């Protein structure tokens, strides 16, 4: 299977995850049965059913009518059946044109081939903090240069 095919399939998986947001069963279907899911706030769900059970009250309450937007920033195919995927995105609530800056996040996912389709085996969601990202990506490397 070529990288372009895998890339297309990984984008389709992320699109499916975004579209499934709001429906706990559909959202859970993009994860493996034994998935490990670390939330935006540091909580952890183990297994597809816990992911479904932990999202159902969110979708019926605080996250009702929200929309998930995410895009792949990078990916690496580690083997024919395993990929590492990094995404960025956020939640849109109401009629907002963009995700709220308070709800922006970056995700790291281990994605595995499950039969004929890709599913998420491990998911780590981290709040995006622009200042911290800037300092980590731009300033810290400058400070590490010899002679400083």
In tens, the pLDDT along 62-74 reads 989 999 989 999 9
| Structural domain contains residue 132 | yes
Q: Count of domains in the chain?
A: 1
Question: Which domain covers residue 47, as residue numbers?
Answer: 3-141
Query: Bridge-partner residues for 112, per DSSP?
Result: 82, 119
The answer as to whether 84 is a domain residue is yes
Does any domain span residue 148? no
pLDDT digits (tens, 9 = 90+) for 10-58: 999 999 999 999 999 999 999 999 999 999 888 999 999 999 999 999 9
Q: Is 146 a domain residue?
A: no
HSE (CB half, 13 Å, CA atoms) of 34? 2
């Amino acid at each position: 299977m070529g990288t372009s095919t895998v890339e297309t399939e990984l984008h389709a998986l992320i699109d499916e995850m975004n579209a499934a947001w709001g429906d706990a069963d559909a959202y859970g279907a993009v994860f493996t049965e034994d998935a490990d899911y670390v939330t935006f706030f540091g909580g952890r769900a183990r297994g597809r059913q816990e992911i479904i059970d932990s999202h159902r009250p969110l979708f019926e309450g605080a996250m009702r009518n929200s929309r998930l937007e995410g895009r792949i920033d990078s990916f690496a195919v580690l083997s024919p059946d395993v990929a590492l995927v990094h995404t960025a995105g956020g939640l849109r609530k109401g009629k907002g044109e963009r995700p709220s800056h308070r709800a922006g996040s970056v995700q790291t996912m281990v994605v595995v081939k499950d039969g004929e389709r890709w599913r998420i085996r491990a998911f780590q969601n981290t709040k995006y903090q622009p200042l911290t990202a800037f300092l980590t990506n731009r300033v810290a490397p400058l400070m590490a240069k010899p002679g400083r």
